[in-house]
Amino acid sequence: MKVAIDSVDTLGFEKSSDFSLSELACKSIINILKKTKIEKQEVDGLIVSTCSNEQYLGNIISEMVGLNPKISTKLENLCNSGTSAIFLGYSLIASGICNSIIITGIEKQYSPGNQLLWDITRGVYDLPVHWAALFAKAHFRNFNTCDEDLALISEKNHKNANKNPNALFYNKVFRFDDIIKSKKIVDPLKILDCCYPCEGCSSLLLVSEKLAKRSENPIWIKGISQNNQGASFANISFDLRSIASTRIASREAFKQAKLKPSDIDIAELHDAFTILEVLAYEDIGFTEKGQGSKFVKQERLYTNTRGGLLGCGHPVGATGIDQTNEIVLQLQDKAPSIRQRKNCTRGLIHNMAAAGTSSTIIIVEK
């Protein structure tokens, strides 16, 4: 059974607000219900993506907005939560259990999802920037990637964020020299190579093929796959030149979609750190291993047009949904005109968690 994305909504990402998680979610869900032609009574699923420890959020939010769905639940998968929720919603509709599911991602800035405390293999180096720096060092050593290559990615994504009013860094201009000279965090990564944890909420509505007939501009999920290699950095660090979960999820998603990387017009890549965008180009198959930093200069693919995690900020549970929303808007030709790209038919979303221990790939088409 085919599954489509009917409508999307994003609240502005910011450092913090006085709103509770459930209040944020309700605002965004109400926006979705106002945009869609699907009636509220027809929504038979709500999946809340968040790393918050708050209890029973699915049912609390359902009650607050007046939904009585078949399934109402919360899902946590660290930074990969958002697309994991889409994966679950897709599966429930594709199997015929549900017809219409709202996926909403919410996070506060100081989320338990910002650090994986369980992983004792990282020793005292438990901030994500430490594993990201080891990936970067390996790439520099093996493929002559350099600081300037990473700075170009940061510059591109921050420039894109300047065209996205929902982005945390919408009003902040970072030039190439600012990025190169920014404060060192863990060599070779500087502060402007790193995303910023923030508050945010993004939602979307998934519908069955039957309900999609009422959608103005349905965007079809052609391939969706996730791969999980475990949870600890130690178990994926046998090859620091590559992220295995991304390679495996990508291969499976392209197989489902009967497409290849060169068929993709636009992609949202998980750039929590600049080096991860380089690795994503290679591991998804947009370019050969070791050529990621050259690929970005070739501008053969629209990437991270909303600003990426670097420019938008990273509200952990909402990120994967907001990445998907951007691709949907671009394919629907509904992105704000300043950042709308022309002639996009197919898009890809790449979302991952915890040193690449898990990755999701979604391929969509209009």
Partner 1 sequence: MNLKEKIFEKIENGTFLSTFCPKCKKHMWPPSNNCKECFTTTGLKDIYNEGILLEKSYSHIVGQQGYFGIGDFSGIRIIGKLESNIEIDEIILISKVKTNNNNKILVEFKKIDN
Residue 340 three-state SS: coil
Contacts with partner 1 by CB under 8 A: the residue count is 30
Residue-wise DSSP of 1-46: --EEEEEEEEEEEES--S--HHHHHHHHHHHHHHH-SS-GGG--EE
Instruction: Quote the crossing angle between the two packed helices 316-331 and 81-94, to the nearest 10°.
Output: 60
Interaction between residue 318 and partner 1 (CB under 8 A)? no
Nearer to partner 1 by Cβ, of 193 and 199: the residue is 193
Binding part of the chain for partner 1, among 47-55, 131-139, 160-168, 283-291 by CB under 8 A, reads: 131-139
Nearer to partner 1 by Cβ, of 139 and 346: the residue is 139
Interaction between residue 146 and partner 1 (CB under 8 A)? no
CA 153 to chain centre: 17
Nearer to partner 1 by Cβ, of 127 and 152: the residue is 127
Interaction between residue 341 and partner 1 (CB under 8 A)? no
CA distance 14 to 201: 10
**String of contacts with partner 1 for each residue 36-55, x by CB under 8 A:** --------------------
C-alpha dihedral (157, 47, 85, 330), degrees to nearest 10? -40
Interaction between residue 229 and partner 1 (CB under 8 A)? no
128 and 272 in contact (C-beta within 8 Å)?
yes
Mark 223-248 as b/e (b = at least 16 C-beta within 10 Å).
bbbbbbbebbbeebeeebebbbbbbb
Binding part of the chain for partner 1, among 18-26, 118-126, 151-159, 318-326 by CB under 8 A, reads: 118-126
Site for partner 1 in 170-199 (CB under 8 A): 183-188
Nearer to partner 1 by Cβ, of 85 and 240: the residue is 240
Interaction between residue 338 and partner 1 (CB under 8 A)? no
**CA neighbor of 145 nearest in space, from 289, 245, 307:** 289
Interaction between residue 141 and partner 1 (CB under 8 A)? yes
Whether the bond between 188 and the residue before it is cis, its omega within 30 degrees of 0, is yes
Binding part of the chain for partner 1, among 48-56, 155-163, 169-177, 236-244 by CB under 8 A, reads: 236-244
Nearer to partner 1 by Cβ, of 22 and 154: the residue is 154
Closest CB 52 distance from partner 1, rounded Å? 22
Closest CB 287 distance from partner 1, rounded Å? 23
Number of helical (H) and strand (E) elements in the chain, helices listed first: 12, 12
Closest CB 271 distance from partner 1, rounded Å? 19
HSE-up (13 A, CA, CB side) for residue 90: 23
Nearer to partner 1 by Cβ, of 186 and 296: the residue is 186
Count other Cβ atoms within 10 Å, centred on residue 294.
15
16 and 107 in contact (C-beta within 8 Å)?
no
Closest CB 324 distance from partner 1, rounded Å? 32
Task: Calculate the alpha carbon distances from 264 to 81, 153, 285, 346, 362 in Å.
Answer: 24, 19, 11, 5, 11
Closest CB 38 distance from partner 1, rounded Å? 44
Mark 96-116 as b/e (b = at least 16 C-beta within 10 Å).
eebbbbbbbbbbbbebbbbeb
What is the radius of gyration, based on Cα positions, of the chain?
19
Nearer to partner 1 by Cβ, of 186 and 335: the residue is 186
Nearer to partner 1 by Cβ, of 151 and 186: the residue is 186
**String of contacts with partner 1 for each residue 75-114, x by CB under 8 A:** ----------------------------------------
Which residues of this protein are in contact with partner 1, per CB under 8 A? 119-127, 129-130, 133-134, 136-138, 141, 183-188, 232-235, 237-238, 240
